[in-house]
Amino acid sequence: MTPRPRNRRSQIVAAAGPLFHKLGYQQVSMAQIAADVGITAAALYRHFPGKQQVLSAVIAEYFTRLQNADTDPVDRADAGPDGGLGLATTIRRLAAVALERREAPLLWAREYGRVAVPDRVDLRTQLTKVVLSMAGGVLDSRAGLSAAGAEILAWRAVAVLTSPSYHRTELPRPRFENTLTDMTMAVLALTPPTIAADDVAAVGRPVPATIDRLSRREALLSAALRLFAERGYHGVTVDDIGAAVGIAGPSVYNHFPGKSEFLRTLLNRGGEGLQLSMSRVLAHATDPATALADLLHTYASFAWDHSHLVTVLVSEAHNLPEDDYRQTRQGQREYLAEWYHLLRLAVPGMDDAEARVRVHASITVINHLARSKRAKLIPPLRTHVVSSALATLGLPGLPGLAQATPWISEVGAMRSSPR
């Protein structure tokens, strides 16, 4: 009888992560995971009672490896004067983990609602430990920095490290690690924002009531967007959408033929909005670097105003029917191709693959903050996150680009004014 491998659980986790990432949690069966590992479904159930526990294990393994990155045995070449790791070496180790398990951050963002509540609490605790550990390294390397400032920088750095999960671009591994490390270190070198007590207090104030849409169709779309963002596409029914606006389920079909049509309409609308914003930026731009800075400012404004839509754009497009998905992905590729092109013009000698990696990192940094209900309401954080996104692009003359051109600033001021 062949003995059971001691690392079978690790093999299952390693096989399940890419499957969930590529196909989506809903489309993956325990039998598929077992087949990828080369075992029977019955053998798989000896290690995990169900698919939900496999998902939690995939994400937990990633966070655990991040936590252990700066406590693994230290090579002499890596050791500092005190025998520990320097910040740059720690970040390089974190970058290596991020690339080895690059599917996990997207799963955490996309399938959060499918993780059992006790596991969510444990996973959030693990992530916070990673951030606080990184913040401690930043404090050790930068005199005069406050603990709060170091933590802000660490959260932005984690966003950079997770960015490879949101795209498929490949670089040779040593170069990928170097690029990810350089982007992360550039963010950690920034001056953190000063947050006043009034800024924090504003987060707890009641949100002013807004005006409901007269159009029943638009009201349904708005409800679908919120529910998809909060529960995930598969966690919402047509009846749920109707109930959210006081319409009986069957009546919803007078406006939309099915749930997938809600998703298709929302994703198309989001893509068109981004394309229109880009057209306006390019119409005003005089050079590629300024155009990129303005694109980041306008994208940040879009993300603040439409955080639910950003969540759905990032997490739910794979749930579209195949033809609609291909069309949506094509629109996203065309939008991002303009960013890559501008970055290569702004930084001569940068190749397309590195431009892709850097652009995705800059957008991920903004998305992370926009999806935080509390943090995005603090104006200094909103300003700082754009500077962080710019830092990942590797643009020369960065300080001069941190401020948007006047017409962008005016748009931002209008959007952030009290309603």
Secondary structure (H, E, C), 65-122: HHHHCCCCCCCCCCECCCCCECHHHHHHHHHHHHHHCCCHHHHHHHCHHHCCHHHHHH
pLDDT at position 411 is 43
pLDDT at position 342 is 96
Q: Work out the angle at residue 253's Cα, subtended by the Cα atoms of residues 251 and 255, and round it to the nearest 5 degrees.
A: 95
Q: What is the mean pLDDT of residues 350-363?
A: 97
CA distances 187 to 76, 109, 131, 181, 288, Å, are 27, 22, 14, 10, 21
Give 79's DSSP letter.
B
Work out the end-to-end distance of the chain between its first and last CA atoms, rounded to an integer number of angstroms.
Answer: 72
Q: Which two tokens stand for residue 107?
A: 């799963």
pLDDT at position 397 is 56
Q: What is the sign of the dihedral through the CA atoms of 18, 19, 22 and 25?
A: negative
Phi, psi of 313 (to 5 degrees): -60, -40
Residue 401 in this model has a pLDDT that exceeds 50: no
pLDDT band at 81 (very low <50, low <70, confident <90, very high): very low
Residue 410 in this model has a pLDDT that exceeds 50: no
Q: What is the mean pLDDT of residues 153-167?
A: 95
Domains of the chain by range and CATH? Answer: 8-188 (1.10.357.10), 217-416 (1.10.357.10)
Residue 373 in this model has a pLDDT that exceeds 50: yes
Q: What is the mean pLDDT of residues 163-189?
A: 95
Q: What is the mean pLDDT of residues 60-78?
A: 72
Residue 206 in this model has a pLDDT that exceeds 90: no
